[in-house]
Structure 1
Amino acid sequence: MTTGHADYDVAYAIAPTGTTIVTQSVILTNNLTNLYPQKYSILIDSEKIKNVIAYDKQGQITPAITQTDGKTEILLTFNDKVVGVGKSMTFTLRFENGDIAQKNGAIWEVNIPGAPADADIASYDVSLTVPSAFGSNAYMTPLPANGTKWIRDQMVAGGISAAYGETQYFDMELSYHLENPRVTPESIDIALPPDTAHQTVTITSLDPKPTTVTRDPDGNWLARYTLNPGENIDVTARLTASIALLPKDGYTDSITREEYLKADQYWETTDPAIISLANEYRTPRAIYDYVVSKLSYDYNRVNQNPIRKGAAQALATPAQSICMEFTDLFIAIARAAGIPAREVVGYAYTTNSKLRPLSLVTDVLHAWPEYFDEERSVWVPVDPTWAKTTGGINYFDKLDFNHIAFAIHGVSSRTPYPAGSYRKEGKAGKDVRVGFGSPPEAPAMGELTTRIEMPKRVIGGVTTQGQAIIENSSGVAVSDVSVSIQSTPVDVAIYRQKKSIPPYGSLQIPITLTVPNMWRKSQGRISAEVNGTTTHFAFDIQPVYFMMLPVALVSLLIFLLIAIAVMKPPFLWNIFKKP
């Protein structure tokens, strides 16, 4: 039998400045005759604790406060001594916490930690008051059980996470150092932060300009540079990103399912332990919950330039995990369970490296997994690492406004490399600079230009090859590109739908023409309509005998020369005969 049980009523009142006044009203009830509570201790995952006040029925209590390693411990020694079975003692603890509410750019975020799964806690009610100046609520998970308060079961399952605002904006400056140590030219692709279901990127400048930018099956934007033997270049990309909580209206992804179920380095889907877990945990939520409960975050390992271990090794050493292991284990179990999954590496804004750590030390990067929702045809990001380090805040039903995707790993577990991975040896300073931005005055629009590359002269009856090139000359991706190509007099009809052309990218469409043979000259035309804008290309058609005429004339001339040489006509012979 325990010495007693506790009933909590905890109120969080947030001021317009973001400072949160936390008031704990606690009732301790004795279960034994000869024992009574003398002290109370609370450990808070923050050092931004001040103005601590406590009192019981006998008066004010002087708290003993200790702060170390990013945490604050408050110890109370009660004035009141209540003895007897069923007797209760009431006390109140009040303090200000600077980590509950944070104004991050355009978004106010509120994160309330959960309660321990302690059998001595009989009830744990929580209320929250937020100023109207914070704006509209973007999300709140979980919702209060009775409409106004959260209860013990909810708080034990995890904390409360809420945000106020609609869209977050970031400005980024990314540096890439490229080297070609070979004796032959080499093409190098670098990954630029791409558009995703939740992220929209605008490239404001890219210096020097790449040869082209392509979009790979994972949606990465790959900028290609060709380096001469021994050449080094430094690429600087300046970008803006807007992050939304919900997927864009109408946004869908299409995948080759088998690509996202296969085993790969770090994702050992055929490992017996992984297979056993996949048979037990069959849904993304179950896998997420297992990973959060199984692994522990190793803060010491973060500062040791850690080597990625992979899913199987994460199971073998669960107490030495960072974001890479949380991500790899989720992906491996999900894939083994038949759920398409992949990794995202990027930047995650945090004001508390203990609650929301960044595990990839070089230029402060983070990794998190995504699973594919086949009903909605969209990739869903989750973050089991931060769920663990925040004490259970829900990063499954929603992510937040702070995760920026730099590179996506699905087809491969290792490439492409994200920004921050191209550092010049010995360089001081950062290659990744991210700060909050402002909403644009007007949405950026992509600019498509179309040109048709064909011979200006076409021979009737002869097949002619060419292409239509649609180029995006802007720093914004153009989505849902519709192309229709037709020609006269030959009936050519080509239709293409392209999900997206990335900034500075292009789409090449081959054109093959075989114009019927004609007996006189004429003209033809190719028309390419791209998203409602039409480009025309006119060409001349020549009969096939025009192509044969020079051959015939040359043949006739040769025949005449041979005839002259053989027959030796007297009049010509006399002309050229020497006197």
Structure 2
Amino acid sequence: MYRLLKILFLLVFFFAFLISPAKADENLTSDYQVTAEAKTDRTMHFTYNISLKNNTSEIYASSYSMILDRMNPANIKAFDSVGPLDAVVTNQNSQAKITVNFSRPVVGKDKILSFTLNYDAVDSIKKSGQAWEVMIPKLSDSAQINNYHLVLKIPSSFGKPAYLSPDPFSKMEINGFQIYEFNKNQLSQFGILGAFGNFQIFNFTLIYHLSNPLKSNISTQIALPPDTAYQIMTFQSLEPKPINVEQDNDGNWLATYFLNKGQKLDVIAKGRVQIISQPNLDFQMNEPFVDKQEYLKPQKYWEVDDQQIINLAQQLKTPEKIYDYVVKTLKYDYGKLEVKRERMGARAVLNNPDQAICTEFSDLFIALARAAGIPARELTGYSYTDNPQNKPLSLNQDILHAWPEYWDESLNIWKQVDPTWENTTGVIDFFHNMDLNHFVFAIHGLDSEKPLPAGAYKTSNQNTRDIDITFGKYLEGPNLDLEFIFNLPKKVYSEFKTNGSIQIENTGGEAVYNKDFLIETDQFTLLSLNQKHLNVIPPYGTISLPIAFKSQKLIWEGVGSINGKINNQSYEYKIRVSSFIVLFTKAILLIAAVFLFVVFLLKIYIKFSKSDTINP
């Protein structure tokens, strides 16, 4: 995404005496105090306070030149203690050369010429969605510079750094600015690259093509992008609606659909994702409980039991050393982006390190980590890049990328890293900090291939683009939207136990986490648990809770209720209660009454019959 720019500092010297020319670093001592201040108008204002000290009495500087590669400086000003200096800029090809002509010579050994150079650069800062990206070139010919100190000033309104490379030797926040300091040693090898922002927002449209070629009906599942410690999902629509959405043991959200024989169905998911650079340390409470030993086992492409991998893992031992080894050992094969290729796996890429793409970087990290006793798994999804050369993607109809994550015991969280992009950029540290551009579609831990991520659900011979991602804006999430379905009879008998269930349906587009569901009754005694902790209900997902109860009184008739409470919301279901004993008694009494009435009628009949016989 970033192109490293080179700044060449050229000193042009006037020789007062006819002597042999000397190198700049032999005849002058240079000191640079530089301030780079980011502006909200997307410009970077540079201030160079430069001091040139004469090391001899024969040579002094008459002018100063700075060459900027692929930069367009504006508002150039130079001055010294006396007043303004003549500053001229010339452009040639992709370079801009600033020349400052000094108005008065400073002659004599140990004499110092001090001046200030200011300019604005629009190439050093840009805004991508909700994130500000900063780029300051590295030093070139740093041997000619004796001392170099740079202060980077970032408005606090930009947000916290998602990543900043190299790591500054000093950082503080003063008067609405984040202040970062760097020295010559840090900037001699790499420039400053950083992204600032508390989060990034992407809008998405994902299309899943489903088909049933069988002669019988089937149910099938698709993987919706899930919440992770780094991303928060909001679905605006999912059409058609699934039968249910469930969370699997890796944390994937699986939507179930029913297909008739021969049926084809396109499912369209729309929404937005909020991505954060530092993991939400509380998210582990939402993770499915899976024994972490499961994430140490070999899988296809993760040959944990291979002796070569075992030997390497025993040498490397830690996640960071494994990461560094993968970054430095493998070489990205850009030629594979243009053709459909087979996934190699960890063992094969060790033997062919120059044939790697993102899946191989991930597979090798995961295999080595697991062999070292570190739980690890793969993430597949979308990663935004505006420079495919520095941050390449696997392009096969849709933009997909793969990167690993490992279980950090100290933080008790799955921590994402990206060895591929650190390898291809060469400057960004993707181990200690993730950027705001990685959007997870699917998690592969218990299975190295399933579920398929969005973009991979295509029918035969289909060549379509099914992923559309754009920058979005932050919007408040929807309110908690739950519906209760009481699968209970309308009428029960007080003498008997009643079984049923309560379904809690999340009709909204965001997951519901860590809610306590409380069941209360009126006129009933619960025979099942009266409280249930709901770890997660995915968007459009349903959870069914069994319930058993009976009347508090053995013989009672009236109206009772089952009440469900969650998140200060209460839902009531009324049930009419009858007594079997009362009904039975009433039936007996009715039968007895009928019998007595019949007997009474018979007696009357017999009586009148006898009367008619006596009186003919």
> Within the alignment, does 1:135 sit opposite 2:167 as a pair?
no
Shift in Å, 1:393: 1.1
Matched residue of 2:368: which SS? helix
* Letter of the 2:133 counterpart: E
Match of residue 366 from structure 1: 401
Match of residue 381 from structure 1: 416
Q: Please point out which of 474, 499, 503 is paired with 1:465.
A: 499
TM-score normalised by structure 2 residue count: 0.71
> Within the alignment, does 1:535 sit opposite 2:571 as a pair?
yes
TM-superposition CA deviations, 1:82-104 (whole Å, max 9, x none): xxxxxxxxxxxx99998754321
Alignment partners' CA distance in 1, 2:373 and 2:243: 39
Within-5 A mapping of 1:98-109: 101-109=125-133
Cα distance change on mapping 1:10 and 1:538 into 2, 3 Å = same
Cα distance change on mapping 1:477 and 1:96 into 2, 3 Å = same
Matched residue of 2:483: which SS? strand
TM-superposition CA deviations, 1:35-89 (whole Å, max 9, x none): xxxxxxx999xxx56689xxxxxxx9999979xxxxx9x9xxxxxxxxxxxxxxx
TM-score normalised by structure 1 residue count: 0.75
Matched residue of 1:286: which SS? helix
Matched residue of 1:143: which SS? coil
Alignment partners' CA distance in 1, 2:396 and 2:318: 31
Contact 2:383 2:401 in 1 (8 A): yes
TM-superposition CA deviations, 1:284-320 (whole Å, max 9, x none): 1111111111111111112111211111111111111
Alignment partners' CA distance in 1, 2:502 and 2:495: 22
Matched residue of 2:256: which SS? strand
* Letter of the 1:448 counterpart: L
Alignment partners' CA distance in 1, 2:301 and 2:184: 38
Match of residue 378 from structure 2: 343
Shift in Å, 1:524: 4.0
Alignment partners' CA distance in 2, 1:278 and 1:551: 81
Match of residue 184 from structure 1: 216
Contact 1:263 1:270 in 2 (8 A): yes
Within-5 A mapping of 1:118-197: 127=150, 129=152, 132=155, 135-139=158-162, 140-145=164-169, 149-151=181-183, 154=186, 160-197=192-229
Mark the runs of 5 or more structure 1 residues left unpaired by the alignment.
28-41, 53-59, 67-71, 75-93, 557-579
> Within the alignment, does 1:232 sit opposite 2:264 as a pair?
yes
Matched residue of 1:319: which SS? helix
Within-5 A mapping of 1:59-98: none
Q: Please point out which of 429, 434, 438 is paired with 2:473.
A: 438
Cα distance change on mapping 1:297 and 1:98 into 2, 3 Å = farther
Cα distance change on mapping 1:509 and 1:549 into 2, 3 Å = same
Alignment partners' CA distance in 1, 2:440 and 2:551: 49
Shift in Å, 1:170: 0.9
Matched residue of 1:252: which SS? helix
> Within the alignment, does 1:286 sit opposite 2:321 as a pair?
yes
Shift in Å, 1:196: 1.3
Alignment partners' CA distance in 2, 1:111 and 1:224: 45
Alignment partners' CA distance in 2, 1:536 and 1:401: 44
Cα distance change on mapping 1:284 and 1:448 into 2, 3 Å = same
Matched residue of 2:353: which SS? coil
Match of residue 548 from structure 2: 512
Contact 2:369 2:376 in 1 (8 A): yes
Shift in Å, 1:249: 6.5
TM-superposition CA deviations, 1:237-268 (whole Å, max 9, x none): 11111112223473324442122121111111
CA RMSD between the two structures: 4.2
Mark the runs of 5 or more structure 2 residues left unpaired by the alignment.
1-22, 53-66, 75-87, 98-117, 172-179, 593-616
Shift in Å, 1:207: 1.4
> Within the alignment, does 1:420 sit opposite 2:472 as a pair?
no
Match of residue 519 from structure 2: 485
Contact 1:526 1:538 in 2 (8 A): yes
Contact 1:445 1:476 in 2 (8 A): no
Shift in Å, 1:112: 5.6
Greater alpha carbon shift after TM alignment, 257-266 vs 148-157: 148-157
Shift in Å, 1:455: 2.0
TM-superposition CA deviations, 1:161-204 (whole Å, max 9, x none): 42222221111111111000001111111111111112111111
Aligned residues: 504
Match of residue 63 from structure 2: none
Larger radius of gyration: 2
Match of residue 565 from structure 1: none
Cα distance change on mapping 1:321 and 1:402 into 2, 3 Å = same
Alignment partners' CA distance in 1, 2:149 and 2:395: 35
Alignment partners' CA distance in 1, 2:491 and 2:89: 96
Match of residue 266 from structure 1: 301
